[in-house]
Amino acid sequence: MNIGINASFLRKPNTGIGQVTTHFLETLVNLERSEKSLKNYKFIIYTEEKSGVKWPRNFVEETFLPWYKRDDLFRKLLWEKWYLPRKAHKNKCDVLISLYQSATVIHYTDMKHVMIVHDIIPQIFPEYLNNLRKKIYWAKVEKGIYAANKIVTVSEHTKVDLELRLNVKAYKTFVSKIAVDNIFADDVSEKDLNRVMKKYGLEKGNYLYTGGGLEMRKDVDRTLRAYKKLKERNEDVPKLVVSGKLMPELAPLIIDVEQIVLDLNLVDDVVILGFVEQKDLPALYKGAKVFIYPSLYEGFGMPVLESMSVGTPVITARDTSIYEVSGDAAVYADHDDEDLCNKIADTIVDKNLLVKMSLEGKERSKEFSWCSFVKDVFNVVNS
């Protein structure tokens, strides 16, 4: 059986879908060596840039681009909707697996299309569709989702979103939880922790941390306002550390965190790191007293799982998929500045609660694995 895999996001390893793509393929390669059920497959990995990966015998990488070479939404649409299906058909694929929600629709062939859907953010937040190209592309993605033979969502919440908002039939949608980078499963060494603390000028256990992106839906501005209230109550509260790629030119979709900090008069109390390398993140989480993540919408919630994996207590929001990730191992706040402030204030002074959350979060994080996810996807492929 020939299995085509849309691995376009291999070229973007710092994105959530890039991480899923990387770990899915790494796990698949490892499983193929040990699982008899995968021995008879030929895997064709479709990419837009050469990955540099040395693939095993029955893996082949095909890299191609449309006539339009600029890396933007127009090229993305051409690649997904027209070029990829034709390549897969030419390679006589029996199944095409899209590792993210895409505009691909299979026509005039018996090839099955299995699509992994992480979220439908533009459907929930139409503000993201702020130009014609984005609107056209998302309309095609919705058609791609609807036309897929089978869908794997990374949370029950996304499955319900597809049913309620896109009229996707429940019988063709399956749920399987993803995991996070394996570097979060390893204990953070004292040497690595000290290196990261020194690199960013931080003190272990003496800062609060919020990260995972600066998109408006992440509600980082609420975290900053809640922190301002906290400082007004208690001057001795630890500093707040904020990470995420700074792109003020994209405001309001990406919040201008520097301007907000300035407006709130928190320049001396908030440390803005900008983009943080993946290799530094485990120690950055580990060094924090708590991780704060009051996101308005998540398809899954990888930052919450990352924090729990290293044993750092999480304060988050119960909405959308996050509770599926953190369960009873987190403190939940309403989308209200005062409530978030109160939850942070109460949590950081409760030593017993911090220890309990650390242990429970680390234990819960063990329930998520890439091996289970990849096996689930292939169970769907074979069903």
Task: Give the DSSP H/E element, type plus range, for residue 191.
Answer: helix 190-200
> Residue 345: its pLDDT value, please?
97
> Residue 314: its pLDDT value, please?
98
Mean pLDDT of the 123-146 span = 95
pLDDT above 80: residue 373: yes
| Residue bearing the bigger pLDDT, 251 or 136 | 136
> Residue 108: its pLDDT value, please?
78
Look up residue 174 and give its amino acid: F
Global confidence as pTM: 0.94
> Residue 79: its pLDDT value, please?
98
281 closest CA partner among 46, 60, 14: 14
pLDDT tens digit string along 234-260? 989 999 999 998 887 777 789 999 999
Mean pLDDT of the 93-110 span = 95
pLDDT tens digit string along 321-333? 999 999 999 999 9
pLDDT tens digit string along 331-362? 999 999 999 999 999 999 999 999 999 999 99
Average model confidence (pLDDT) across the chain = 95
pLDDT tens digit string along 9-48? 999 998 999 999 999 999 999 998 888 778 889 999 999 9
| Distances from the Cα of 252 to the Cα of 127, 259, 328, angstroms | 9, 12, 33
> Residue 313: its pLDDT value, please?
98
- Residue 265 CA from chain centroid, whole number: 31
pLDDT tens digit string along 48-62? 999 999 999 899 999
| Distances from the Cα of 330 to the Cα of 23, 250, 271, 290, 319, angstroms | 26, 31, 24, 10, 13
pLDDT above 90: residue 128: yes
> Residue 225: its pLDDT value, please?
97
**Structural domains of the chain, with CATH:** 2-179+369-382 (3.40.50.2000), 182-366 (3.40.50.2000)
- pLDDT > 70 fraction of the chain, expressed in percent and rounded: 100
> Residue 19: its pLDDT value, please?
95
> Residue 33: its pLDDT value, please?
84
Sign of CA dihedral 285, 286, 292, 294: positive
Under the banding of pLDDT at 50, 70 and 90, the label for residue 319 is confident
- pLDDT > 90 fraction of the chain, expressed in percent and rounded: 91
| Distances from the Cα of 25 to the Cα of 40, 89, 126, 151, 377, angstroms | 17, 21, 32, 18, 12
> Residue 223: its pLDDT value, please?
97
> Residue 163: its pLDDT value, please?
97
